[in-house]
Structure 1
Amino acid sequence: MNATAAQPKPALTQDEAFARIRLLRSANIGPVSYAQLLRRFGSATQALDALPDLAKRGAKRDYRPAPVERVEREIAAARKASARYVFHDMPDYPALLAQMENAPPIITVRGDMALANKPCVAMVGARNASAAAIKLARDFARELGEGGFTVVSGLARGVDGACHEGSMPSTIGVIASGIDIAYPPQHAKLQEQIASDALLIAEEAPGTEPRGQHFPKRNRIIAGLAAGTLVVEAAKKSGSLITARLAGEAGREVMAIPGSPLEARSHGCNHLIREGAVLVQDPQDVIELLSGFDGVPRSSFRETAPAYDFMPDDMSEADPADVQGLLTTAPVPVDELIRQSGESAGAVQMALLELEIAGKLVRHAGGKVSLA
């Protein structure tokens, strides 16, 4: 959902908003396929009508979109939680997040959306953080908030909670559950304070309990909202490093606070610095780095962005290419499929879309796909 110049769009009708939620909640529809369906059919209403036929062409004959009653219950739960939906093409959808390759098409929010369009810095770190790291995170977050930045974190125990507390009310909490579910339970009061005084964001449907696969999705939102991600304290194998990697892949700054090589909880930060993250020692380092951020990060901790276009111009008219025989369970770049098949980008993407809706395709980070 890369931002592009366009003519002003008409206001979203209630029927189309409902259809968009239903489309995204339908089986095997993710951010990329959602965007491709809107592009090809012009509206979620028409895309929903086309889903069974597209699934049949992918060899799945019993496909049904998400039930209307399920979406009605979800919307009622959102209203009960005093939350609202923000769609990818609304003016207040966060601009930096919209630039992510797989930005969430719909988010639910409580609080002040203006915070997401101020300069943002993500701060993440260990759940079982040391006392020194907790104090450091709180102090950094307070100074960054006072310096005009919104601090984004994931409401986890340890470093995340300290970052929110230190930067309140200039903070955004991104959660891996529905907007109406407090997780972890120890942070129920903090989560409610963020929703009331700052900004709370969720991608999952209201009523959704957090699961393991939701946390990497949450991490990409944390990284996507901010010009840079600062890791305060993290072990070598840590969810915080996933957030840092996602920030690097998106062309954002990656920063880390160094620690003792004798402390296992510092090994992740030291590894990031060795791999090209910017070493940070005080909040002014972050402010200086991000105040002049122009889209070209100083940190070299990043991977090359995929070369393919996930939504090519010719997709609206293309017939699907025959690419299933080129796929295995090993992830392969989409642009490699285009080269090997000799077909247009639109034809390949249409074939992948049909396979995805049929439940036969998995999309991976970095523009890669594989058979399920």
Structure 2
Amino acid sequence: MEGLSQAEAFARIRLLRSPNVGPVSYRQLLHRFGAAEAALSALPDLIQRGGGGYRPAAEDRIAAEVQAVRTAGARYLFHDSPDYPPLLAEQDGAPPILTCRGDANLALRPCVAIVGARNASAAAVKLARMFAGELAEAGYVVVSGLARGIDGAAHQASLSGGTIGVIASGIDVAYPPEHADLQEVVASQGLLLAEQPPGTEPLARHFPSRNRIIAGIAAGTLIVEAAPKSGSLITARLAGEAGREVMAVPGSPLDSRSQGCNQLIRDGATLVQRTDDVIELLTGFQGQPRSILREVSAEWGVLPEQTEDPADIAGLLTTAPVAVDELVRQSGASAGAVQLALLELELGGRLVRHAGGRVSRA
């Protein structure tokens, strides 16, 4: 990106790949120390104070990753790059660094996510193609996860107008294998995004992370067909928590693949039956969705520059997630001191971050 030296870009990648550094702690470290190179220098001491025995990621490992990204024909997108997806950048837990292939400018256009069942019915696949094709003709970029069923149909129908595929693996790994050709077409004609380092095989824990990117990029998420407890419902919930439109296509109560969508509608998602319904909801979207399926997440401020000693809050943590403002109240320390203590505990491997800005003991 413009204004970012090669050394600082390398340091940012190394910082993010260091043990126990996640999106929140990464941003706090950058804010506190001003640059990734300075944060890396301070990291060993912070880790030690947090009770951990880890070291920052090795330089040769990061050099190998950078070479793998180049070999795959991809590049890095940093959180403050002008072509980083703007709606995604608004989210506190957004990936600080993505790898991409294709036209990153697609994410600057109005985007809508279409997701649904992998073992989708023929009728649902037909509907997904209809919605995706008509939305692409109307100027929207269709975002999905390149999975079987609804995802694949949405990508195929929107290729001519622009589509974004978000994968749970590294940028150089195709999953599912039967979508290898489709993934290549999306990368060459649209945009392919990955959060995981190159060479990473998709694991179960990677898919919710992938889903938060899909929900974060788009102004609204449309679920065409989904069974209860499916990954598509995770995407819908994340979209609601992000303050985006959540839309669902109703289905027969006799078909288990429709139960997820019907439940979403009961919970406040907007019922849609035609593409015009989606366009009406998304036209002029300004962050005030009409669907009410959302939870208010605790806001995470940046770690302030201060010299105050970190609060001793390790004893207040249990394995049950708790809101950070509750820790501030119980400890009597300032918000900045509590956040610094949490950062050190996370770097030491003693803290787990949860949705909604909550934390617990590891």
- TM-score scaled to structure 2, two decimals? 0.98
Q: State the distance in 2 between where 1:149 and 1:336 align.
A: 41
Query: Is residue 87 of structure 1 aligned with residue 78 of structure 2?
Result: yes
The superposition leaves residues 295-327 of structure 1 with CA deviations (integer Å, 9 ceiling, x where unpaired) of 111001111131x43315x34433210111110
> Partner letter of residue 96 of structure 1?
L
Q: State the distance in 2 between where 1:10 and 1:151 align.
A: 28
User: Which one is further off, 17-26 or 284-293?
Assistant: 284-293
Q: What does residue range 282-297 of structure 1 map to in structure 2 within 5 Å?
A: 282-297=274-289
Q: What does residue range 68-107 of structure 1 map to in structure 2 within 5 Å?
A: 68-107=59-98
SS at match of 2:359: strand
Q: State the distance in 2 between where 1:161 and 1:153 align.
A: 8
Paired residues of 1:133 and 1:233 also in contact (CA < 8 A): yes
What is aligned with 1:128? 119
Match of 2:38 among 38, 41, 46: 46
Paired residues of 2:51 and 2:350 also in contact (CA < 8 A): no
Query: Is residue 257 of structure 1 aligned with residue 273 of structure 2?
Result: no
CA RMSD of aligned residues (A): 1.1
User: Which one is further off, 46-55 or 157-166?
Assistant: 46-55
Q: Count residues with an aligned counterpart.
A: 361
Q: State the distance in 2 between where 1:232 and 1:316 align.
A: 49
What is aligned with 1:353? 343
What is aligned with 2:49? 57
Paired residues of 1:309 and 1:345 also in contact (CA < 8 A): no
> Partner letter of residue 367 of structure 1?
G
Match of 2:166 among 166, 174, 197: 174
CA deviation after TM superposition for structure 1 residue 339, in Å: 1.2
The superposition leaves residues 70-94 of structure 1 with CA deviations (integer Å, 9 ceiling, x where unpaired) of 1011111100010000100111111
The superposition leaves residues 69-119 of structure 1 with CA deviations (integer Å, 9 ceiling, x where unpaired) of 110111111000100001001111111000011000000000011110100
Q: State the distance in 2 between where 1:316 and 1:171 align.
A: 44
Paired residues of 2:113 and 2:215 also in contact (CA < 8 A): yes
CA deviation after TM superposition for structure 1 residue 10, in Å: 6.8
Q: What does residue range 172-251 of structure 1 map to in structure 2 within 5 Å?
A: 172-251=164-243
SS at match of 2:356: coil
Q: State the distance in 2 between where 1:47 and 1:318 align.
A: 18
Q: What does residue range 299-310 of structure 1 map to in structure 2 within 5 Å?
A: 299-306=291-298, 308-310=299-301
Match of 1:323 among 304, 307, 313: 313
The superposition leaves residues 210-254 of structure 1 with CA deviations (integer Å, 9 ceiling, x where unpaired) of 111100000000000000000000001100000000000000000
What is aligned with 1:165? 156
SS at match of 1:273: helix
CA deviation after TM superposition for structure 1 residue 37, in Å: 0.4
Q: State the distance in 2 between where 1:101 and 1:116 align.
A: 18
CA deviation after TM superposition for structure 1 residue 182, in Å: 0.4
Q: State the distance in 1 between where 2:309 and 2:202 align.
A: 39
Paired residues of 2:250 and 2:271 also in contact (CA < 8 A): yes
The superposition leaves residues 108-134 of structure 1 with CA deviations (integer Å, 9 ceiling, x where unpaired) of 000011110100001100000001111
CA deviation after TM superposition for structure 1 residue 58, in Å: 1.0
Q: What are the ranges of 5 or more consecutive residues in structure 2 without an aligned counterpart?
A: none
What is aligned with 2:330? 340
What is aligned with 2:146? 155
CA deviation after TM superposition for structure 1 residue 139, in Å: 1.1
Going from structure 1 to structure 2, the CA distance change for 1:316 and 1:80 (only over 3 Å counts) comes to farther
Query: Is residue 16 of structure 1 aligned with residue 8 of structure 2?
Result: yes
SS at match of 1:27: coil
Paired residues of 1:156 and 1:184 also in contact (CA < 8 A): yes
What is aligned with 1:368? 358
> Partner letter of residue 256 of structure 2?
A
Paired residues of 1:223 and 1:244 also in contact (CA < 8 A): yes
SS at match of 1:369: strand
**Identity percentage over the alignment?**
69
CA deviation after TM superposition for structure 1 residue 359, in Å: 0.4
Q: State the distance in 2 between where 1:10 and 1:131 align.
A: 47
What is aligned with 1:119? 110
Q: State the distance in 2 between where 1:82 and 1:46 align.
A: 30
Paired residues of 1:362 and 1:369 also in contact (CA < 8 A): yes
SS at match of 1:224: helix
